[in-house]
């Protein structure tokens, strides 16, 4: 704020000086001592989500009455697939399935993604005895809220002319919550969908063929075992860190005459013609709290009862119990060859799935001990 | 104190914040999950069978099955994950008999090994360490074979493990026996063809109070700092400077640090919930094991005769 | 830490526990921290209501809770518990208070034993947050009058009316349904409204 005011003043002075040719007085504002830490900058269309909570001294009767009204309109609290939520009363049922002659899946089509939580990690074993580390992602009470067709969708970054009006946008919400905790404007997002207001909302860019009707629940059946997904999350915030933690430098010896340079980087550049610090040099700085995507993680196992999938690796960005967004992979060699459930797996088809689905290569813990055949 | 004035100035929002319902934010058992437990337990097969009688979980279960208790670090906890993990553990236990054992017990582990002759390998040794929880639970066996100390790290729930036999069920004086690495080899030498020794049913697990004799320095760790009970001759090798530095790192106040202990344990109420969930299956497995043992012990004299 | 410590069995606390402790800045390290908190816990047991900085109160609260819950759990014949009480209570007559006054008082509580309020800080003055920590069931008058029973507050009046209207509508709805079902309009309306009204109020 201050800086912009000073900048304005300086510009004024400059402009006046250029006309009158008097001496120029510019206050310099140096950008030193300023951390380049990722900050939350709310976009222009930002809606405040949470209402400020005040203690209103509402009598117990009235409090129950408010609760009753909420349950009356949206359905009573229920535990659905291991997530505390509400019966969604207002969703028009049944959601019309697209007719048979709807456009089929092609490898170039972009499907919707889902919102999940990272709930932890533990190992699985393959049938050849190999141990794989997996992360468990639980898909938490996802419902489609709105679809914006390509003609109306205005992305913040205008796509190249080639891609203009190619993709629509699906708004998906996760984790129903008590609307009394949220602002009126935020609840307005959900008004036309019939879905209860959700704690978390995400947009997914989809092909128009993959559009879904508002109120469609998204489950883990949207993906299949053996396929690959990209997982986007915000990494754990470590704050300002030195090079040893941030970039894995080795540091310097603890003794043998080393003074004051035990965890420092050492030299950061050469002399002579290239006598400067090169861009991209690894140095201390802010670590974490950035959006990162791990790409091409295989789904090893799926549990439909709790909506959980086991994906490869234990380095999915974000903390345990943190939010995660799951997409179909964009890696060309790992894209599915066969059609996945398209546009998604609807409820009645999902009911037919078994509770635990294991990929062929994974050892089911209910199976017998792994043995190797003698040659 | 002017009470009225105080009423006015104390923040109004607070009393609610400390009501019992809100405890759950960082407590290990959120209200949501509590409800879930009540809702989903009836669907589990193990809770359906003994509907009439209340499952009484024996108090020693936390020692016998420590890996069923989750990591107490609250940031890493999630009830759904823990439940799924427990189900997997039970499924694995249905396939292989994983008996009760402690650090200091002598085990024989038979596992599939693609590189071994006959594709299986059997290792006999003393359990010197046991750590981690859930499906990652693991232990280290140590033995001296051909004058060469050998250690093998096994994961308890690894599906390549074919059999775990407890040859001698006992405890030692310490929680981990890494000092055997610096002890004379005879203290970690065990016969590979050792016969299993049977404990009487219901008898408490004996504590072997053997004192191990250490080699002279250099050692792998500074044993004098660890207050070891199972070492005989540590005084022989340490000097005054070692004694002083050992005294410096002692933390005698930690036994009074109640919150530190609390953060390192799973509270009793939660332990009860967890073991109530898995108790019936574990109990049936135990009964099965007993039956098998009896059969085995009955057959043996026959063969001799 | 990857495995729970099974050597000790502790009852669950009924307060919010932070995942990590505060170090409470002091030159003697963790030992000094405990020595500091010891004074606070002693004062809390002695005076039953104290005013102090928020951080220290929040840290001391857990220790006081655990001390009481251990005392309830094991009683005064248990040696380790007695040692704990001896360490945490600097004035030894308070050990008697713990076992003879507080244990009977909290024996069948199912809420936390202590309570904490945010207190206003001095302005201008130290910036640290302040708080009031008290034992439940203390003899002092309450700090915050319970306003939740006050029906004359505006929003309660409005909500009361809304509730009544909501009930009336529901009854009307039910009556309409019955009307349609039985096709005996007048009788059922009267009956149904009679039967449902008492429950509504």
Task: Residue C53: name the closest of C110, C126, C109 by CA.
Answer: C126
Residues in Cβ contact with A113 at an 8 Å cutoff, skipping those fewer than 6 apart? A172, A202, A204, A325, A326, A327, A328
> Does residue B168 carry a pLDDT above 60?
yes
Cβ of residue A57 closer than 8 Å to a chain C Cβ: yes
What are the tokens at B115? 């590189």
The residues in C 132-191 lying below 8 A from B, measured between CB atoms, are 132, 140-145
Task: Residue A307: name the closest of A79, A98, A112 by CA.
Answer: A79
Residues of C with CB below 8 A from A59's CB? 148-151, 156, 159
Which of C1, C14, C17 should be substituted to probe chain B, the one whose Cβ sees the most B Cβ atoms within 10 Å?
C17
Determine the pLDDT at residue C102: 96
A3 or B235: which leads in pLDDT: B235
- Residue B140: strand pairing partners: B129, B153
Minimum CA–CA partner of B161 in chain A:
A369
How many helices and strands (H and E) does chain B possess? Answer: 10, 5
Cβ of residue C150 closer than 8 Å to a chain A Cβ: yes
Query: C160, A62: Cβ pair inside 8 Å?
Result: yes
By percentage, how much of chain A surpasses pLDDT 90? 54
Could you give the dihedral angle defined by the CA atoms of residues B22, B23, B26 and B28, in that order, rounded to the nearest 10 degrees?
-130
A349 or C98: which leads in pLDDT: C98
Cβ of residue C142 closer than 8 Å to a chain A Cβ: no
> Does residue A288 carry a pLDDT above 80?
yes
> Does residue B271 carry a pLDDT above 70?
yes
How far does B287 lie from chain C, in Å, by closest CA? 24
Whole-number Å distance between alpha carbons of B80 and B37: 10
Whole-number Å distance between alpha carbons of A364 and A358: 7
pLDDT tens, residue by residue, B224-242: 999 999 999 999 999 999 9
How far does C136 lie from chain B, in Å, by closest CA? 12
- Mean pLDDT to the nearest integer, B50-69: 78
Distance between start and end Cα atoms, chain B = 90
Which of A67, A76, A82 should be substituted to probe chain B, the one whose Cβ sees the most B Cβ atoms within 10 Å?
A82
Is residue A33 very low, low, confident or very high in pLDDT (cuts 50, 70, 90)? low
Whole-number Å distance between alpha carbons of B36 and C82: 39
Minimum CA–CA partner of A63 in chain C:
C159
Chains with ≥3 CB–CB distances under 8 Å to C: A, B
Cβ of residue A236 closer than 8 Å to a chain C Cβ: no
Q: Where are the beta strands (DSSP E) in chain C?
A: 49-53, 114-119, 130-135
Which among C147, C148, C155 is the nearest to A60, CB-wise? C148
Rg (CA), chain C: 27
Minimum CA–CA partner of B268 in chain C:
C11
Is residue C186 very low, low, confident or very high in pLDDT (cuts 50, 70, 90)? low
Which ipTM score applies to this complex? 0.85
Whole-number Å distance between alpha carbons of B32 and B24: 9
Whole-number Å distance between alpha carbons of A155 and A212: 19
Is residue A155 very low, low, confident or very high in pLDDT (cuts 50, 70, 90)? confident
Whole-number Å distance between alpha carbons of A136 and A120: 5
pLDDT tens, residue by residue, A306-359: 999 999 999 999 999 999 999 999 999 999 999 999 888 888 888 899 999 999
Determine the pLDDT at residue C196: 41
| pTM across the whole model | 0.84
Q: Where are the alpha helices (DSSP H) in B55-110?
A: 61-64, 79-95
At the topology level, CATH places domain A61-237+288-358 in Elongation Factor Tu (Ef-tu); domain 3 (2.40.30)
Cβ of residue B267 closer than 8 Å to a chain A Cβ: no
> Does residue A253 carry a pLDDT above 90?
yes
Is residue A100 very low, low, confident or very high in pLDDT (cuts 50, 70, 90)? low
Cβ of residue A66 closer than 8 Å to a chain C Cβ: yes
pLDDT tens, residue by residue, C2-25: 899 999 999 999 999 999 999 998
Residues of C with CB below 8 A from A314's CB? none
Cβ of residue C199 closer than 8 Å to a chain A Cβ: no
Whole-number Å distance between alpha carbons of C62 and C69: 10
Is residue C195 very low, low, confident or very high in pLDDT (cuts 50, 70, 90)? very low
Describe the strand order of the beta sheet including C49-53 as a list of residue ranges.
C49-53, C130-135, C114-119
What are the tokens at A107? 């490898």
Give the pairing type, strands A142-148 and A131-139: unpaired
Whole-number Å distance between alpha carbons of C118 and A198: 31
Residues of B with CB below 8 A from C140's CB? 3
> Does residue B137 carry a pLDDT above 90?
yes
Q: Say if CB C63 and CB C47 are below 8 A apart.
A: no
Determine the pLDDT at residue C197: 40
Domain range annotation of chain B: 60-285
Cβ of residue B76 closer than 8 Å to a chain C Cβ: no
Minimum CA–CA partner of A139 in chain B:
B80
Size of interface A-C (CB pairs under 8 A): 31
Is residue B298 very low, low, confident or very high in pLDDT (cuts 50, 70, 90)? low
Which of B19, B67, B176, B256 should be substituted to probe chain C, the one whose Cβ sees the most C Cβ atoms within 10 Å?
B256
How many C-alpha atoms does B249 have within 13 Å on its Cβ side?
11
What are the tokens at B218? 């250099």
How many C-alpha atoms does C83 have within 13 Å on its Cβ side?
8
Residues of C with CB below 8 A from B253's CB? 30-31, 34
Q: What rounded mean pLDDT belongs to chain B? A: 83
Domain range annotation of chain A: 61-237+288-358
Q: Say if CB A251 and CB A262 are below 8 A apart.
A: yes
Determine the pLDDT at residue B2: 42
Cβ of residue A56 closer than 8 Å to a chain C Cβ: yes
Whole-number Å distance between alpha carbons of A145 and A283: 44
- Mean pLDDT to the nearest integer, A37-45: 73
Size of interface B-C (CB pairs under 8 A): 144
Minimum CA–CA partner of C113 in chain B:
B20
CATH class of B60-285: mainly beta
> Does residue A109 carry a pLDDT above 70?
yes
Residues of A with CB below 8 A from B160's CB? 125, 129, 369-370
Query: C156, A57: Cβ pair inside 8 Å?
Result: yes
SS3 of B156, please? coil
Lowest mean pLDDT among A48-52, A299-303, B256-260, C19-23: A48-52
SS3 string of chain A?
CHHHHHHHHHHHHHHHHHHHCCCCCCCCCCCCCCCCCCCCCCCCCCCCCECCCCCCCCCHHHHHHHHHHHHHHHCCEEEECCEEEECCCCCCCCCCCCCCCCCCCCCCCCCCCEEEEEEEEEEEEECCCCEEEEEEEEECCEEEEEEECCCCCCCCCCCCHHHCCCCEEEEEEEEECCHHHECHHHHHCCCCCCCCCEEEEEEEEECHHHCCCCCCEECHHHCCCCCEEEEEEECCCCEEECHHHHHCCCCCCCCCCCCCCCCCCCCCCCCHHHCCCCCCCCCCEEECCCEEEEEEEEEEEEECCCCEEEEECCCCCCCCCCEEEEEECCCHHHCCCCCCCCCCCCHHHHCCCCCEEECCCECCCCCCCCCCCCC
Q: Say if CB A83 and CB A138 are below 8 A apart.
A: yes
Query: C34, B74: Cβ pair inside 8 Å?
Result: no
């Amino acid at each position: 704020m201050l800086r912009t005011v000073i900048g304005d003043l300086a510009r004024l002075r400059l402009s006046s000086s250029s006309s009158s040719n008097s001496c120029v007085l510019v206050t310099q504002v140096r950008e030193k001592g300023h951390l380049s830490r990722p900050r939350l900058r709310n976009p222009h269309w930002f809606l405040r989500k949470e209402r400020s909570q005040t203690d209103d001294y509402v009598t117990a009767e009235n409090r129950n009455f408010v609760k009753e009204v909420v349950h009356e309109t949206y359905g009573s609290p229920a535990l659905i697939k291991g997530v505390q939520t509400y019966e969604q009363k207002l969703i028009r049922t049944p959601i019309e399935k697209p007719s048979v002659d709807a456009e089929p899946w092609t490898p170039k089509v972009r499907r919707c993604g889902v919102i999940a939580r990272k709930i932890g990690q533990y190992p699985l074993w393959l049938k050849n005895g190999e141990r794989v580390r997996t992360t468990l992602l639980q898909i938490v009470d996802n419902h489609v809220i709105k679809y914006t067709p390509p003609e109306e969708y205005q992305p913040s970054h205008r796509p190249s002319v080639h891609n203009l009006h190619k993709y629509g946008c699906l708004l998906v919400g996760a984790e129903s919550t008590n609307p009394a905790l949220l602002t009126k404007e935020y609840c307005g997002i959900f008004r036309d969908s019939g879905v209860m207001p959700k704690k978390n909302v995400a947009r997914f860019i989809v092909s128009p063929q993959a559009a879904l009707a508002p109120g469609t629940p998204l489950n883990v059946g949207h993906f299949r075992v053996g396929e690959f997904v990209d997982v986007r999350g915000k990494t754990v915030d470590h704050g300002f860190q030195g090079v040893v933690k941030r970039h894995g430098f080795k540091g310097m010896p603890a003794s043998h005459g080393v003074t004051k340079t035990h965890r420092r980087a050492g030299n950061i550049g050469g002399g002579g013609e290239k006598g400067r610090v090169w861009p991209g040099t690894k140095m201390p700085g802010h670590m974490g709290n950035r959006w990162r995507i791990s790409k091409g993680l295989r789904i090893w196992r799926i549990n439909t009862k709790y909506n959980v999938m086991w994906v490869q690796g234990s380095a999915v960005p974000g903390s345990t119990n943190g939010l995660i967004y799951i997409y179909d992979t964009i890696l060309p060699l790992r894209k599915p060859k066969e059609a996945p459930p398209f546009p998604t797996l609807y409820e009645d088809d999902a009911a037919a799935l078994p509770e635990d689905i294991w990929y062929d290569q994974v050892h089911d813990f209910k199976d017998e001990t792994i043995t190797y055949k003698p040659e | 104190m002017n009470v009225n004035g105080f009423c006015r100035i104390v923040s109004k929002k607070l009393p609610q914040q400390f009501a019992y319902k809100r405890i759950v934010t960082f407590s290990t058992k959120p209200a949501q999950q509590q409800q879930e437990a009540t809702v989903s337990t009836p669907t589990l097969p193990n809770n359906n069978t003994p509907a009439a009688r209340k499952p009484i979980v024996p108090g020693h279960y936390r020692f016998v099955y420590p890996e069923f208790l989750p990591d107490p670090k609250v940031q890493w906890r999630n009830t759904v994950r823990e439940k799924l993990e427990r189900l997997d553990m039970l499924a694995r236990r249905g396939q292989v008999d994983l008996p009760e054992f402690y650090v200091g017990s002598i085990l024989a582990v038979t596992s599939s090994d693609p590189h071994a002759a006959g594709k299986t390998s059997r290792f006999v040794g003393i359990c010197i360490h046991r750590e981690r929880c859930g499906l990652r639970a693991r232990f280290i066996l140590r033995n001296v074979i051909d004058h060469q100390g050998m250690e093998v790290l096994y994961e308890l729930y690894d599906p390549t493990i074919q059999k775990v036999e407890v040859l001698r069920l006992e405890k030692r004086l310490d929680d981990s026996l890494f000092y055997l690495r610096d002890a004379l080899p005879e203290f970690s030498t065990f016969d590979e063809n050792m016969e299993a020794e049977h404990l009487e049913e219901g008898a408490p697990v004996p504590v072997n109070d053997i004192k191990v004799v250490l080699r002279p320095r250099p050692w792998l760790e500074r044993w004098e700092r660890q207050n070891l009970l199972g070492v005989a001759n540590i005084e022989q090798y340490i000097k005054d400077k070692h004694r002083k530095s050992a005294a410096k790192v002692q933390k005698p106040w930690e036994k009074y640090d109640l919150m530190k202990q609390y953060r390192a344990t799973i509270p009793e109420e939660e332990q009860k919930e967890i073991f109530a969930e898995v108790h019936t299956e574990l109990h049936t497995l135990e009964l099965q094991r007993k039956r098998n043992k009896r059969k085995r012990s009955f057959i043996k004299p026959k063969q001799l005769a | 830490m990857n495995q729970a410590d099974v050597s000790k069995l502790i009852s669950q606390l009924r307060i919010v526990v932070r995942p990590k402790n505060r170090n409470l800045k002091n030159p003697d390290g963790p030992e000094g921290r405990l020595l500091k908190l010891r004074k606070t816990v002693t004062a809390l047991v002695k005076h039953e209501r104290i005013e102090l900085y928020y951080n220290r109160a929040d840290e001391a609260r857990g220790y006081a809770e655990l001390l009481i819950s251990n005392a309830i759990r094991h009683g005064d014949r248990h040696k380790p518990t007695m040692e704990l009480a001896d360490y945490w209570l600097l004035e030894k007559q308070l050990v008697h208070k713990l076992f003879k006054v507080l244990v009977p008082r909290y024996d069948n509580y199912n809420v936390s034993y202590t309570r904490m309020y945010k207190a206003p800080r001095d302005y201008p003055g130290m910036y640290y947050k302040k708080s009031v920590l008290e034992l439940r069931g203390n003899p002092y008058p309450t700090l915050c009058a319970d306003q939740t029973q006050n029906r004359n507050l505006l929003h309660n009046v409005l909500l009361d009316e809304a509730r009544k209207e909501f009930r009336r509508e529901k009854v009307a709805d039910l009556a309409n349904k019955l009307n349609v079902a039985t096709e005996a309009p007048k009788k059922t309306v009267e009956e149904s409204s009679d039967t449902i009204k008492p429950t509504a109020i």
